[in-house]
């Protein structure tokens, strides 16, 4: 069982068939409390739903297996995972984060961690040797590829520069299908499981996976104390999503490859960001630590087009935040996911008003391109 291939891991895990009923799909256990044989001695493995739940245990078993990890903790949202993981820090300790992050993560670090007495520094992790303060870090937060510019970070390089820091890699964009950061030196892999793991834009969740017993114990305590747990129904939905994760990711990537290639050759596109393009900065680094390139594509549209037509008059591209669902989504980060960042900082980061982020769904790739091209040709 330990040598299962990824496709098999998505279907079968160590929990196996439900023993009491033979249920092929793990059932939803809604009980909030569990009987004890005597005070302090539960009849089984569970005491109270905030601490653990059978449906959650099944999900966490899948998550750990998919990321080649020993422990997995599922959270009520991706941001709940962010908040809980950063609680591993003590006041006065330093968090170093990549300078291109999901807007919500950056907002949390600036609006909550800094005022609480944590020092937060930002670094260009695509060129880590230029940054001189890795030795200060107690925790490092990296996205690779980043949101929304898909910048690539060498995970092993970062770990070598700060071997004593806890290295967290947000693997939301790649999913476990294409990248397993624990295999490259990360201490914690984080996911917004709302995205590709759920895969259908109908569930909220987050996850943290680690091989460290100590980190797992601390995170479990933080989660239990804060109460940032997912409902049994959400855990069931995420487990169901995992069943088709491999199949979906292959189609997402196939469509992204097609769309990126078309965009690269279009006269009204200034630049395309997709790790699968050989011209993409960090392409070879990404290739060395990942088995695929994912379904996210960003590009900057020419200022010659009618931008409103591009973003709002599409038939198959829904203008919406989030990503990773079976339907294709189009987002303008400067106005949507990263709007909380002040304009001057956004411009400096390259998150300009003509930047478009695409979450390529699983529709027919030619239908998607023809629909998008109408806006680019306007």
pLDDT interval class at 181 (50, 70, 90): very high
How many residues does this entry show for the chain?
A: 378
> Would the pLDDT of 1 be above 70?
no
Quick one: 139 and 154 in the same domain? yes
Q: What is the CATH number of the domain that holds 297?
A: 3.90.1150.10
State which of 211, 243, 275 marks the end of a domain: 243
Quick one: 334 and 369 in the same domain? yes
Quick one: 329 and 226 in the same domain? no
Q: 189 with 210: CB under 8 angstroms? A: yes
Number of domains observed in the structure of the chain: 2
Quick one: 238 and 186 in the same domain? yes
Quick one: 180 and 283 in the same domain? no
Q: How far is CA 38 from CA 44, 49, 52, 304, in A?
A: 12, 19, 19, 74
Instruction: Tell me the pLDDT tens digit for each residue of 72-115.
Output: 999 999 999 999 999 999 999 999 999 999 989 999 999 999 99
pLDDT interval class at 2 (50, 70, 90): low
Q: How far is CA 277 from CA 271, 331, 361, 370, in A?
A: 11, 21, 19, 21
Q: Which domain holds residue 307?
A: 245-376
Quick one: 76 and 211 in the same domain? yes
Residue 50 belongs to a domain: yes
CA distance 183 to 35: 40
Q: What is the CA radius of gyration of the chain?
A: 21
- Give me the percent of the chain exceeding a pLDDT of 70: 99
Quick one: 122 and 250 in the same domain? no
Quick one: 238 and 337 in the same domain? no
Closest C-alpha to 242, from 176, 178, 290: 176
Specify the pLDDT at position 289: 98
Residue 302's contacts (CB-CB under 8 Å, 6 or more residues apart) are: 267, 268, 269, 270, 354
Q: Over range 239-262, report the average pLDDT.
A: 98
- Give me the percent of the chain exceeding a pLDDT of 90: 90
Instruction: Tell me the pLDDT tens digit for each residue of 265-311.
Output: 999 999 999 999 999 999 999 999 999 999 999 999 998 888 888 88
Residue 180 belongs to a domain: yes
Q: What is the CATH number of the domain that holds 25?
A: 3.40.640.10
Residue 188 belongs to a domain: yes
Instruction: Tell me the pLDDT tens digit for each residue of 126-140.
Output: 999 999 999 999 999
CA distance 322 to 337: 8
Residue 129 belongs to a domain: yes
Closest C-alpha to 340, from 83, 78, 102, 103: 103
CB atoms within 10 A of CB 343: 12
> Would the pLDDT of 201 be above 80?
yes
Q: For the chain, what is the HEC assignment?
A: CCCCCHHHHCCCCCCCCCCCCCCCCCCCCCCCECCEEECCEECCCCCECCCCCHHHHHHHHHHHHHCCCCEEEEECCHHHHHHHHHCCCCCCCEEEEECCCCHHHHHHHHHHHCCCCCEEEEECCCCHHHCCCHHHEEEEEEECCCCCCCCCCCHHHHHHHCCCCEEEEECCCCHHHHECHHHHCCCEEEECCCCCCCCCCCCCCEEEEECCHHHHHHHHHHHHHHCCCCCHHHHHHHHHHHHCHHHHHHHHHHHHHHHHHHHHCCCCEEEEECCCCCCCCCHHHHHHHECCCCCEEEEEECCCCCHHHHHHCCCCCEECCCCCCCCCEEECCCCCCCCCCCHHHHHHHCCCCCEEEEECCCCCHHHHHHHHHHHHCC
State which of 197, 214, 243 marks the end of a domain: 243
Residues designated catalytic:
50, 102, 170, 195
Quick one: 78 and 221 in the same domain? yes
Quick one: 165 and 190 in the same domain? yes
> Would the pLDDT of 17 be above 80?
no
> Would the pLDDT of 36 be above 90?
yes
Residue 1 belongs to a domain: no
What is the pTM assigned to this prediction?
0.96
Quick one: 138 and 82 in the same domain? yes
Residue 276 belongs to a domain: yes
State which of 243, 258, 273 marks the end of a domain: 243
């Amino acid at each position: 069982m330990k040598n299962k291939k990824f496709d098999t891991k998505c279907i079968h895990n160590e929990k196996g068939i439900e023993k009491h009923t033979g249920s092929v799909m793990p059932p939803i256990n809604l009980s909030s409390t569990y009987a004890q044989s005597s005070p302090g001695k539960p009849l089984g493995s569970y005491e109270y739903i905030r601490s653990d739940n059978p449906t959650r245990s099944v999900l966490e078993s899948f998550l750990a297996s998919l990321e080649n990890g020993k422990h997995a903790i599922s959270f009520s949202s991706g941001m709940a995972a962010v908040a809980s993981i950063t609680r591993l820090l003590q006041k006065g300790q330093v968090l170093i984060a990549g300078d291109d992050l999901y807007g919500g993560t950056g907002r949390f670090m600036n609006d909550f961690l800094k005022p609480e007495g944590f020092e937060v520094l930002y670094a260009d992790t695509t060129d880590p040797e230029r940054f001189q303060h890795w030795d200060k870090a107690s925790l490092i937060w990296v996205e690779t590829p980043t949101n929304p510019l898909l910048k690539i970070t060498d995970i092993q390089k970062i770990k070598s520069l700060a071997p004593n820091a806890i290295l967290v890699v947000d693997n939301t964009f790649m999913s476990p299908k294409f990248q397993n950061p624990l295999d490259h030196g990360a201490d914690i892999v984080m996911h917004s499981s709302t995205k590709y793991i759920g895969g259908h834009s109908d569930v909220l969740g987050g996850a943290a996976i680690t091989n460290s017993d100590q980190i797992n114990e601390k995170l479990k305590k933080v989660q239990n104390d804060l109460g940032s747990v997912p409902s049994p129904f959400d855990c069931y939905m995420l487990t169901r999503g995992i069943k088709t994760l491999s199949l979906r990711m292959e189609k997402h990537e196939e469509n992204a490859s097609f769309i990126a290639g078309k965009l690269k050759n279009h006269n009204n596109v200034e630049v395309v960001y997709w790790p699968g393009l050989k011209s993409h900065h960090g392409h070879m680094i990404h290739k060395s630590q990942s088995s695929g390139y994912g379904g996210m594509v960003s590009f900057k549209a020419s200022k010659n087009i009618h931008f409103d037509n591009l973003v709002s008059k599409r038939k198959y591209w829904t203008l919406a935040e989030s990503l990773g669902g079976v339907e294709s989504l189009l987002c303008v980060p400067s106005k949507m996911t990263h709007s909380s960042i002040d304009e001057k900082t956004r411009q400096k980061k390259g998150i300009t008003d003509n930047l478009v982020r695409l979450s390529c769904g699983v529709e027919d790739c030619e239908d998607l391109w023809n629909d998008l091209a109408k806006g680019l040709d306007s």
